[in-house]
Amino acid sequence: FFKLKTAYEIGTGDSLGEEYAGCLFKITGGRDKQGFPMMQGVLTNQRVRLLLNKNHKCYRERRKGIRKRKSIRGCVVSSEINVLMMALVKKGDKEIEGLTDDPRPRSLGPKRATKIRKMFGLSKEDDVRKFVVKRVKKNGKNWLCPKIQRLVTDRRLARKAKHIEKHNQRRMKRDAAMAAYTEKVAEWRQELKQKRAEEVAKKKKKVKKAA
């Protein structure tokens, strides 16, 4: 595995033994002989000292804004690596003892209704609540069930219809008030025009009498 980097996928069937024939592994990390971890993105097989902050791996911020220079190992595999961590990407021909021979049910499943339908191949007419992944509590008696997000039920539809009805009522009330206000403004302007016409007529009469 020398000169390989983390996140590389390798088929290591013959090199690790017959029981791993046909398996596909992915290098996820490792540690050297002194216990310093490999860091993704550091393209060297040596140990280096980098100034790390809270956004970097291999460092946990103790105080806000604190940075620290720490020793880490590069992401290239070398003879100094003592522990190499790999993840199984593809299972081979045989079952691996302690890894693939013991099928375990999922302890956590999706919460969103659309993702539950996608996972079990359901249609919109099927009841999603019957397919939620549940797990037993430590006491072995009670079940833990997540709350389904974005679930469209009869209560949800009734609540939405009520909300739309209230919105329409407010809009109708606003439109009626606006119509009444426009009518009053029109009446007021008409009254002003009549008063102005009467004043102009009076002035014309005075001018005629004076002449």
pLDDT tens track, the chain, 211 positions: 788 888 888 876 556 777 788 888 899 999 999 999 999 999 999 999 999 999 998 899 999 999 999 999 999 999 999 999 988 888 887 888 878 887 777 778 899 999 999 999 999 889 998 998 888 887 777 888 889 999 988 999 999 999 999 999 999 999 999 999 999 999 999 999 999 999 999 888 888 877 6
Q: What is the value of pTM for the model shown? A: 0.53
Q: What pLDDT was estimated at residue 211?
A: 66
Q: Is the dihedral of CA 188, 194, 196, 202 positive or negative?
A: negative
Predicted local confidence at residue 208, as pLDDT: 81
Dihedral, 57, 60, 64, 69 alpha carbons, nearest 10: -70
Do 31 and 12 meet the contact criterion of CB atoms below 8 Å apart? no
Task: Give the per-residue pLDDT at 55.
Answer: 92
Q: How far apart are CA 23 and CA 97, in angstroms?
A: 13
Q: Give the model's pLDDT for residue 13.
A: 54
In a 3-state reduction of DSSP, which class is residue 1?
A: coil
* Model pLDDT, residue 103: 75
